[in-house]
Structure 1
Amino acid sequence: MTSRPHRVRRPTAVAAALAVIPLFAACGSSDTAGASNEVEGSTVVLTTITSLEPQFKEYADAYMKEFPDRTVEVRSTTDDGAEYAQQLATARLSEDLPDVFFNVDFLADTLAKNNVTLDLAPGIEEGKLGDLAMDDFLPQFVAQYRPLADPEQVTGLPVSADSVGLYYNKSLFEQAGVTEYPEADWTWEDMYRVAEEIQSKSDGAVTGLAAPLADGSAQIVYGPVIQAYGGYVYDAETGKSGIGQPEAVEAWTTLLEPYGTASGEYTTTGDDPTLQFSSGNIAMAIASRGAVPQTQLALTDADWDVQVLPTIDGSSTAGGGSYGLSIAQTSENQDAAWAFLAWFYDTDAGMKIAQEVGGVIPPTEDGISNGTWKDGEPPPASIEIFGESARTAVLLTQMPGASASVMAEATKKATQEVLLEGRDVAEAFQEAEETVNAAIAKETK
């Protein structure tokens, strides 16, 4: 069977339930370097986004319980991109950055370029992470924190090896009289075919598949599909984006098919909880490992599970990405910051707690294979597929400076134009490509 999907004639009504890190703009200045101090009796200021504050407070409490003479003060900032960027800019200019702070893959290059983040590679080589060496981490996730201008540096460490999978509600399959559940060898054509069968047999009462692309900005979804069709999001050698090239247009066409074009409802946002897998009305949806806790709380009476994403032309379409932790160049508490990171990334210390309270999949081969993240009570019974997906995931493409944020907005705009205005797919995304390449050119002057 070919893996090129046919058009789903009965449109779906929803967007995918994707648990992804918010898209933040970037900023910074060119000042450099801070000092270090003693660990005992020190205070480390750790800033994270609002949505992660509760779990980081638990990490801090556990650390201070183990080391009573050390203090970790957790502060939270908004999840709004513009506000977050402004806060970083103001703090950097006033040399008032926190000692340890939230970083994210697409933001890492800008922070490094503007001398906000400390190069962690020398410290790791010196043993400041305890027994952990650079080779213990999954290299593709560490690579997201290697600056484009100096890939020998590492300006952040991933907290979790995040990847996406295919969620499916067995109870809704049974309600529709469909017994063909997702398998590891499914293609996208299989997924679309079964989704259409579910909607048809349920007379539209059940949505077969949440539309794969919420608003066009989730590169964790579209990046692997573009690559599977032979295209590229960004080529570092040429310094160009290819989101409007023929292979990418074929990918966008595939991704937008479930929305329908002639009739029915659709949405260009995934914010409405009634339009997500956890609502109990969606038979299948593409979502990250981070959606498991929410789904467990919401679908208490349903039989649901997860599977690896279907393939296209034999290629995996699982996406991945990460948020991480960095140390500020201007920190006057770098020894204390290193001590916290050494504890946090220890499999038997911080990482153990992170797996329990944060749903973290440790970004190390040992953590994926032997961690406690997959030991909880089902559902999902097949949670270990997220470890497999993490090993093979196509990660977010590292792009110069703020051009990743420009891409997010450009692809979102193109998606909405196609869905809401009926614009030609190729025309919309070729224009998006021009916008992104202009931003890249500006960043690389």
Structure 2
Amino acid sequence: MLLAGAGAALLTLTAACGGSSGGGGSVEGSKIVLSVQNALVPQFKKYAAAYEKEFPKRKISVQSLPDDSTQYVQQLVTQRLGGKVPDVLMNVDYAANQLANGNITMDLGPWLKEGKGGLKGEDFLPQFLGQYRPVEDPDEITGLPVSADSTTLFYNKDLFQKAGVTEYPKPDWTWDDLYRVANKIKKGSGDKFAALAPPLGIGDQNSVYNPVINAYGGSVYDPKTKKSGIGQPKAIEAWKMLLGAYGTSAPKYAADQGSLPKFENGQTAMAFSVRAVVPAMKQSLKGDWDTQTMPKINGKSTVGGGSYGLSIGKTSKNKEGAWAFLAWFYKNDGGMKLAQATGQVVPPTQQGLDHGTWRALPAPPKNEDAFATAAKDAYLLPALPAKAQKALSDSVKKAVQQVEIEHRSVTSAFQDAEKTVNQALQSR
């Protein structure tokens, strides 16, 4: 249900031919191949058609890339070794550091600072743009976010009413409020449906546990010390609160993703998710449902999220043509207008949040402000080196399973998880 790492869709743009040997290239007459994951091919064909209609001398053909994230990264690495890095490629938050270290992505910072083609770095929400700042070179910017994917609380009013509960989520809700109302729904429903989808899912929801740990005063990863703190006292408090949902306000832990209750199928009254799922949800979920901002802890927001973005290949021979496409794509009346019309995209700019056309789309949900507020408040996981990122994901899931299945103590399970992540950070 929740967009894990927000990396569900991956795309690449590849130059077919042309461009100068110096890497500049020309804009008019450029021929660009747009390669996207299979799920995105139909939508990006629309972007390509719109771009060609506005600029008849520029051509784009749409091709597909593997849907699997590992295969996607490996293909880019292979292209780099073969001297065929795409002109424009899709980046994604968890892979941005790896792609930068592999000399696959170009530093866009100088052109963003210049405002080349009307595209300025200062226009983007800083925390989302920050996901494309390499750990080793934080002054660089190697990608531009496409959507400000931020977690919100979805709720089904029909299921609330079936349980005899009319206390709907409010902006000032705390996690205590969330659990309290979930318990009311559980009791009133007679367990005919779930009150709350498990906040940690199967243990893989970093866009939930990262901001929650931060709100408690801890950290999943501190880029200054280059260490993880998932086993420290503040983090342990957060884990206990999140794990406490299993078997009480949410169903018991299950290692099978498919067995979890799904909000879009009307199986749970509340769940955390992002704007990207709304179009599919409208098709599958009938009735009265809406969204609200995430509950708070100690007065702090617990909004998380992630993004995928667009980058330019470092060795591209047509950087000018690639930049021209990006400049068009991020214009409010260009590609971003088409992207918003899908209902999946929340613009990653302040202007887009306040005045974007996505706000005028038909309900549900009615509370569009929840997405805008979430994007502004989102606390995103700092980039970790590739090995450590995988170690974090695997270690957290393992620790959750140890607590819920093997009944190990929260403290010992996550202290061991922290050691594993820090070993990975040291060995990179």
TM-score by length of structure 1 reads 0.89
Measured in 2, the distance between the counterparts of 1:380 and 1:311 equals 21
Mark the CA change 1:53 to 1:269 in structure 2 (over 3 Å): closer, same or farther.
Answer: farther
Alpha carbons 1:162, 1:321 under 8 Å: kept: yes
Instruction: Give 1:40's match in structure 2, choosing from 28, 33, 43.
Output: 28
Answer whether contact 1:214 1:269 (CA < 8 A) is retained: no
Using the alignment, how far apart are the partners of 1:23 and 1:357 within structure 2?
Answer: 16
Q: What SS is found at the alignment partner of 1:116?
A: coil
Partner AA of 1:228 in structure 2: A
Is 1:267–2:254 an aligned residue pair?
yes
Instruction: Give the structure 2 partner of residue 354 of structure 1.
Output: 339
**CA-to-partner distance for each residue in 1:129-169, whole Å, 9 max, x for gaps?**
x2232111111111111112222211001111110100000
1:143 aligns with 2:130: yes
1:420 CA displacement = 2.4
Query: Is the 2:38–2:64 contact (alpha carbons within 8 Å) kept by the matching residues of 1?
Result: yes
Q: Secondary structure at the match of 2:403?
A: helix
**Residue of structure 1 equivalent to 2:18:** none
Q: Contact 2:7–2:307 (CA<8 Å) still a contact in 1? A: no
Query: Of 274, 294, 317, which residue of structure 2 is paired with 1:288?
Result: 274
Choose from 57, 67, 71 the match for 2:59: 71
Is the counterpart of residue 189 in structure 1 residue 176 in structure 2? yes
- Residue 278 of structure 1 is matched in structure 2 by 264
Q: Which amino acid aligns with 2:39?
A: S
Q: 1:7 aligns to what?
A: none
**Quick one: higher RCO (CA 8 Å, sep 6+), 1 or 2?**
1
Q: How many residues align?
A: 416
Residue 81 of structure 2: aligned partner: 93
C-alpha contact (below 8 Å) 2:143/2:309 kept by paired residues = yes
Q: What secondary structure is seen at the aligned counterpart in 2 of 1:18?
A: coil
Task: Name the counterpart of 1:225.
Answer: 212
Q: Supply the AA of the counterpart residue of 2:344.
A: G
Tell me how far apart the structure 2 counterparts of residues 271 and 58 of structure 1 sit (CA, whole Å): 32
Using the alignment, how far apart are the partners of 1:80 and 1:359 within structure 2?
21
What is the letter of the counterpart of residue 200 of structure 2?
A: L
More divergent stretch after superposition (67-76 vs 285-294):
67-76
* Aligned residue number for residue 18 of structure 1: 2
Work out whether 1:211 is the aligned partner of 2:198. Answer: yes
Q: Percent identity?
A: 51
Change (3 A) 1:349 1:23: closer
Give, in whole Å, the separation in 2 of the partners of 1:251 and 1:319: 15
Cα deviation 1:224-259 (Å, max 9, x = unaligned)? 000111100111221100011111111112112222
Corresponding residue to 1:371 among 348, 356, 381: 356
Q: Residues 402, 88 of structure 1: CA spacing in aligned structure 2 closer, same or farther, 3 A cutoff?
A: farther
What's the counterpart of residue 9 of structure 1?
none
CA shift, 1:104, in A, is 1.1
Which moved further from structure 2: 164-173 or 406-415? 406-415
Cα distance between partner residues in 2 of 1:23 and 1:57:
18
Tell whether the 8 Å contact from 1:24 to 1:82 is kept in structure 2 after alignment: no
Task: Name the structure 2 match of 1:305.
Answer: 290
The 5 Å alignment of 1:57-206 reads 57-128=45-116, 130-206=117-193
C-alpha separation between the residues in 1 aligned to 2:72 and 2:137? 25
Tell me if structure 2 keeps the 8 A contact 1:166–1:286.
yes
Cα pair distance change 1:154/1:334, threshold 3 Å: same
The match for 1:400 is 385
Q: CA deviation at 1:416?
A: 2.1
Superposed displacement of residue 265, structure 1: 4.6
8 Å contact 1:53–1:74 — kept in the other structure? Answer: yes
Checking the alignment, whether the CA contact within 8 Å between 1:55 and 1:358 is kept in structure 2 is no
1:84 positional shift: 1.9
Return the TM-score normalized by structure 2: 0.92
The residue type equivalent to 2:335 in the other structure is: G
How far 1:185 sits from its partner (Å)?
0.8
Does the aligned pair in 1 maintain the 2:278–2:343 contact within 8 Å? no
2:43 partner letter:
Q
- The separation in 1 between residues aligned to 2:417 and 2:8, in whole angstroms, is 18
Q: Which amino acid aligns with 1:362?
A: P
Q: Secondary structure at the match of 1:35?
A: coil
In structure 2, C-alpha distance between the alignment counterparts of 1:75 and 1:358, rounded to whole Å = 23
Q: 2:39 aligns with which of 45, 51, 54?
A: 51
Deviation at 1:269, TM superposition (A): 4.1
1:103 and 1:342 map into 2 onto residues whose CA distance is 17
Structure 1: distance between partners of 2:163 and 2:184: 8
Name the Cα RMSD after superposition: 2.0
Q: Report how far residue 116 of structure 1 moved.
A: 0.9
CA contact (8 A) 1:354 1:360 kept: yes
- Are the structure 2 counterparts of residues 398 and 23 from structure 1 closer, same or farther at C-alpha, using a change threshold of 3 Å? farther
Amino acid at match of 1:405: K
Distance apart, 1:407 and its partner CA? 1.0
Give the letter for the 2:2 counterpart.
L
Structure 1 counterpart of 2:307, which letter? S
Tell me the distance in 1 between the aligned counterparts of 2:41 and 2:256.
Answer: 25
In the aligned structure 1, how far is the partner of 2:321 from the partner of 2:409?
55
What one-letter code is carried by the residue in structure 1 that aligns with 2:285? L
Aligned residue for 1:405, secondary structure, equals helix
Q: Is the 8 A contact 1:34 1:330 kept in 2?
A: no
Q: Which residue of 2 aligns with 1:8?
A: none
Q: Is the 8 A contact 1:164 1:288 kept in 2?
A: yes
Deviation at 1:24, TM superposition (A): 11
Query: Any unmatched runs of 5+ in structure 2?
Result: 11-20
Give the deviation of 1:321 after TM superposition.
Answer: 1.5
Contact 2:199 2:205 survives alignment (8 Å): no
Cα pair distance change 1:416/1:58, threshold 3 Å: farther
Q: Secondary structure at 2:43's aligned position in 1?
A: helix
> Following the alignment from structure 2 to structure 1, what is the Cα–Cα distance between the partners of residues 277 and 402?
28
